[in-house]
Amino acid sequence: MKDKTIIGPFKQVITMADLPLEGPINDAALPVRENAGVVCVDGRIEEIKPWQELEKEKGIEKEIINEPCVLLPGFIDSHTHMCYAGSRARDYALRTAGVSYLEIAKQGGGILDTVRKTREASKEELKENLKMRVQAHLQRGVTTSEVKSGYGLNVSDELKMLRVIKEVNQEEKLDLVPTCLAAHTLPPEFSNHKEYLEYLVKELLPKIKEEALAQRIDIFVEESAFSAADANDYLEKAKSMGFDIIIHADQFSTGASSLASKIGALSAEHLEASTDKEIKLLAKHHVVANVLPGASLGLGMGFAPARKLLDEGCCVVISSDWNPGSAPMGDLLTQAAILGAYEKLSAAEIFAGLTFRAANVLKLNDRGILAKGMLADMIAFPTSDYRDILYHQGQLGPVLIWKKGVACCLP
């Protein structure tokens, strides 16, 4: 028996259908269905129709929405490091007192501090931490999230992180997409970057394949992490093993965007330091630009040039970068709204970066749009006008959230 439900009415259904994958989008192009409802069958969308027609349907279960709401596809966070143990409040206090992120890393704080705590944590502890963050994400309307490893930096602890991500994905409603970021920084056991990357290719990547723990490989290219030349060899090898390539690029200095363009990376992520040259390259090579306003807010630094990236024709995706160091906030909608205010983005461009464009960078073609056949991952905001959502800069959250057609309980 098919499980069929009619959900509505909604004042506006913002379907995000039929919009371009790359480049600017005007709000006038936003597909807004007024006074409509959604028919869901077995967790997927069957159709979106005027409520006048749907309310007459007999013999089908109806989930009636009693307050005026705007419906959007569930948000997709395509760049996070939310599997970790411990806090870096000390780093944050040092930074607000004027010490730079890279200086803190040089003093043994930064990523390596979280590596120590994550290695010490049991699998159960890590799972609990990740579950807590996954639930917070879901309550704020994120229905799919990428999660990176990268605080293990050896075979056993990287595998521990990826297994935790896999298990939490199976146990929680939110869908998680894992990425291996074992090339996050040089671990204390190694003194040579090349040797560490060779060790990963030999010892870790085959195990990840064997256990199907991740399909995506990421690397942090930066002065404090890996050079573009070392990254190139590592990524070529990962590519030949069949992995998709993602690069932490141009966060503090440029160089990695050209590598991303040359090597055929799916996306270059961060881009705060990108100049016109990098922007042109990314657009030309159709490398997705994943911008991370949460890191700018956490570090007190400028935003990635999202406006210029869009105007040059890039697919711009917006993610939280949720991590204990540079982006501890984790509130994707707030961050995207603030980025929009600074970078002059239309609501359509912001929502695109949080929905179908984010689905694209994760290679998920079953979500991010409300249309026939798509997963019924949907979020409803208590307003009659979609513009209210960004206007409140994250303070107007969703009141109803459906994951695969099933309403999630909010506390």
Which residues contact Fe ion by CB under 5 A? 321
Taking CB within 5 to 8 Å according to partner kind, which of Fe ion, ligand NIG, none is near residue 33?
A: none
Of the pair 15, 296, the CB lying nearest ligand NIG is at 296
> Is 220 a residue that touches ligand NIG (CB under 6 A)?
yes
> Is 81 a residue that touches ligand NIG (CB under 6 A)?
yes
Answer yes or no: are the C-beta atoms of 398 and 380 closer than 8 Å. yes
73, 325, 340, 368: residue in contact with ligand NIG (rule CB under 6 A): 325
Q: How far apart are CA 345 and CA 162, in angstroms?
A: 35
| Least CB distance to ligand NIG at residue 221 (A) | 10
> Is 267 a residue that touches ligand NIG (CB under 6 A)?
no
Answer yes or no: are the C-beta atoms of 281 and 288 closer than 8 Å. no
- Interface with ligand NIG: number of residues (CB under 6 A): 14
Residues 6+ apart with CB under 8 A from 237: 201, 205
Residues 6+ apart with CB under 8 A from 207: 155, 159, 213
Answer yes or no: are the C-beta atoms of 261 and 274 closer than 8 Å. no
Rg (CA), the chain: 21
9, 37, 324, 397: residue in contact with ligand NIG (rule CB under 6 A): 324
Q: Print the binding letters for residues 91-110 with ligand NIG: x by CB under 6 A, - otherwise.
A: -------------------x
> Is 114 a residue that touches ligand NIG (CB under 6 A)?
yes
> Is 248 a residue that touches ligand NIG (CB under 6 A)?
yes
25, 39, 111, 200: residue in contact with ligand NIG (rule CB under 6 A): 111
Partners of 12 in beta bridges: 34, 70
> Is 295 a residue that touches ligand NIG (CB under 6 A)?
yes
- Which residue in the shown chain puts its C-beta closest to ligand NIG? 325
| Least CB distance to Fe ion at residue 328 (A) | 12
**Angle ∠(280,254,267) on CA atoms, nearest 5:** 60
DSSP string, 258-324: HHHHHHT-SEEEE-TT--HHHHHHHHHTT-EEEE-HHHHHHHT-PPP-HHHHHHTT--EEE-----S
Of the pair 157, 321, the CB lying nearest Fe ion is at 321
